[in-house]
Amino acid sequence: MDLNGKTAIVTGASRGIGTYIAKTLARHGANIIAVARSEAGLQETKVDIENSGGSCQIIPFDLSNIDGLEGLVADIWSNHGPIQFLVNNAGIEHYQHYDRIQKSEILSILNINLHCPLELSRAIMPRMLDNSEGHIINISSLAGKKGVAYNSIYSASKAGLLMWADGMRQEYNDSPIDISVVCPGFISEAGMFNDGQIDPPPLLGSSKPQKVADAVIKALKKGSCEIIVNSGPIRPLLALGQISWKLADKIVRWFGVPALSRKRISF
């Protein structure tokens, strides 16, 4: 896959991992359409990309406005030409005891993390099919493969993203559209986990945000796939979880994941 001259929509491109994804795609020659709520953050991404010789257009937009996403896609396609890549990166989380979480917080997480990617993809796929070219990449999480205590809504949203992509890969196997998922673990230096300013469990470690961006490039070049980004021994744990959830839960507690999550609760 030659990315040069292709156009990519990257959501959540105003901060965190999204900026790394946008900049890395631009370095590989892609024209970036950066979408997020923060215009100031998008401007910083645009300046960084253009200072490096890349192309970036910004669209400040509240991605929780699900009803407006179809019009957003139509406007982007009309104003910027065919879109080859959609990177569903935007995401939010909220650590809390489930019995204390508010209905509005649940809806907000599900809207941004799951409903938004589904609706953006639904709006753009007919155009990609007509154009005989398209690749949708969902930035999920290892939290979608193994539930995280005190962050269960985030886990549910990311698991939904994984299973939706799984079904989509099968449904569109014989089409010109590829569907990929990138599943980061604990990410240092940028992103929501880094914002919490708590060290990851030593046995699981952390990865740099550039590795997530590199995984996006790998997915684009490889085609439909699922890529895990994690420095620790997560694959054996995930496999074990399919055999014995009780043992997997014990190992996660031993790693210190629930205790870490508890520290991040916002009172």
**pTM score:** 0.90
DSSP string, 147-183: --TT-HHHHHHHHHHHHHHHHHHHHTTTSSEEEEEEE
Q: What is the C-alpha to C-alpha distance for residues 98 and 219, in angstroms, rounded to an integer?
A: 35
pLDDT at 126: 97
Q: What is the pLDDT of residues 23-79, one digit of tens each?
A: 999 999 999 999 999 999 999 999 999 999 999 999 999 999 999 999 999 999 999
Catalytic choice (20, 95, 150, 154): 154
**Is 20 a residue of the active site?**
no
Q: 3-state DSSP call for residue 227?
A: strand
Q: What is the pLDDT of residues 71-116, one digit of tens each?
A: 999 999 999 989 999 999 999 999 899 999 999 999 999 999 999 9
Block residue for tokens 């929780």:
64
User: What residue ranges define each of the domains in the chain, with the CATH number in brackets?
Assistant: 7-263 (3.40.50.720)
Q: What rounded mean pLDDT belongs to the chain?
A: 90
Q: What is the pLDDT of residues 222-258, one digit of tens each?
A: 999 999 998 766 666 676 667 777 777 777 787 777 7
